[in-house]
Amino acid sequence: MVRTAIPALSCLLAAAVAAAQGRPDAPPASEVRALDDELAVLEEAPPDGVPRESVVTLRYYLQLATELPARHPQAAQRFWRLARRMAGTLRAGTDPFAAERGLIVRGYRSALSTKLQGYSIFLADDFDPAQDHPLIVLLHGGSSNHHLFLNVVLGNNVPWATYSANLWTEYRPGWQPPANWILAAAHGFGQAMWRWAGEQDVFDLIADVSRVLRVDPDRVFLNGISNGGVGTWTIGFRHAWRFAGVLPMAGAPSWKRYEGSALRPDEDLLLSAWSAEDLAANGANTFLRFFHGDLDRGPMKPEFVFAMERRLRAEGVPYVFTRFADMGHDIIYACHRRGRLLEELEGVRRDRRPARVRLVSADYRAARQHWVEVAEFADYPALARVEAAVADGRVTVTTEAVRRLRLYVEDIPVPDGGADLVVDGATVLRLPAGAPPVPLVLERGADGWAPAAYGPRPGPRKVPGLSGPLPDMHYEPVLHVYGTGVPEETEAMRGAAERAANNWILWIWDHDQRVVADTEVTEEDLRDRTLVVFGTFRNNSLLRRMAPGLPIEIGEAGIRVGEHRFDAEDAGVRFIAPNPLYPSRYVVVQAGNTAEAAVAGNQLPDFLPDFVVYDRRTTADRERLVARRHPPLTAGFFDTSWRLREGAGEPVEEAGRRP
pLDDT of residue 453: 87
How confident is the model over 97-107, as pLDDT tens digits? 999 999 999 99
Q: What residue numbers bound the domain in which 529 lies?
A: 470-636
Asked if the structure places residue 459 within a domain, the reply is: no
List Cα–Cα distances, 20 to 13, 63, 191, 498, in angstroms: 10, 12, 24, 21
Q: Which residue has the higher pLDDT, 5 or 28?
A: 28
Asked if the structure places residue 463 within a domain, the reply is: no
Q: Residue type at 564?
A: H
Same domain, 156 and 265: yes
Give every CB contact of residue 635 below 8 A, 6+ residues apart in sequence: 264, 266, 608, 609, 611, 612, 613, 652
- pLDDT over 50 (residue 2): no
pLDDT band at 657 (very low <50, low <70, confident <90, very high): very low
pLDDT band at 177 (very low <50, low <70, confident <90, very high): very high
Computed over every residue of the chain, the mean pLDDT equals: 94
Asked if the structure places residue 383 within a domain, the reply is: yes
Asked if the structure places residue 350 within a domain, the reply is: no
pLDDT of residue 10: 56
Same domain, 72 and 136: no
pLDDT of residue 331: 97
How confident is the model over 561-617, as pLDDT tens digits? 999 999 999 999 999 999 999 999 999 999 999 999 999 999 999 999 999 999 999
Share of the chain above pLDDT 90, in %: 91
- Tell whether the torsion through CA atoms of 388, 390, 395 and 396 is positive or negative: negative
Residue 423, CB half-sphere, CA atoms under 13 Å: how many? 26
pLDDT of residue 21: 52
Asked if the structure places residue 645 within a domain, the reply is: no
How confident is the model over 632-644, as pLDDT tens digits? 999 999 999 999 9
Q: How many CB atoms lie within 10 A of CB 643?
A: 14
Q: How far apart are CA 145 and CA 205, in angstroms?
A: 14
Pairing state between β 394-400 and 419-423: parallel
pLDDT of residue 13: 59
How confident is the model over 218-248, as pLDDT tens digits? 999 999 999 999 999 999 999 999 999 999 9
Last residue of a domain, one of 451, 479, 499: 451
Classify the phi-psi angles of 203: left when phi > 0, otherwise alpha if psi is within -120 to 50, otherwise beta. Answer: alpha
Number of domains in the chain: 4
Same domain, 77 and 172: no
Same domain, 521 and 620: yes
Same domain, 127 and 206: yes
pLDDT of residue 12: 57
Q: DSSP 3-state assignment of 643?
A: coil
Asked if the structure places residue 193 within a domain, the reply is: yes
Q: Which residue has the higher pLDDT, 21 or 575?
A: 575
Q: How many CB atoms lie within 10 A of CB 490?
A: 18
Same domain, 402 and 513: no
Q: DSSP 3-state assignment of 24?
A: coil
- pLDDT over 50 (residue 1): no
How confident is the model over 263-294, as pLDDT tens digits? 999 999 999 999 999 999 999 999 999 999 99
Same domain, 173 and 266: yes
Last residue of a domain, one of 50, 72, 100: 100
Q: How far apart are CA 528 and CA 476, in angstroms?
A: 10
Same domain, 631 and 574: yes
- Report which of 633, 653, 648, 651 is spatially closest to residue 563, judged by C-alpha positions: 648
Last residue of a domain, one of 67, 82, 100: 100
Asked if the structure places residue 576 within a domain, the reply is: yes
Q: How far apart are CA 646 and CA 652, in angstroms?
A: 15
Give every CB contact of residue 458 below 8 A, 6+ residues apart in sequence: none
pLDDT of residue 18: 52
Say if CB 185 and CB 206 are below 8 A apart.
Answer: no
Asked if the structure places residue 328 within a domain, the reply is: no
Same domain, 62 and 210: no
Same domain, 22 and 121: no
Region 535-540 average pLDDT: 98
pLDDT band at 4 (very low <50, low <70, confident <90, very high): very low
Give every CB contact of residue 536 below 8 A, 6+ residues apart in sequence: 483, 486, 489, 543, 591, 592, 593, 594, 595, 598
pLDDT of residue 193: 97
CATH label of the domain that carries residue 128: 3.40.50.1820
pLDDT band at 51 (very low <50, low <70, confident <90, very high): very high
Q: At what angle do helices 29-44 and 52-67 cross, to 10 degrees?
A: 160
pLDDT of residue 137: 99
Same domain, 244 and 176: yes
- pLDDT over 80 (residue 25): no
Same domain, 557 and 598: yes
CATH label of the domain that carries residue 612: 3.30.379
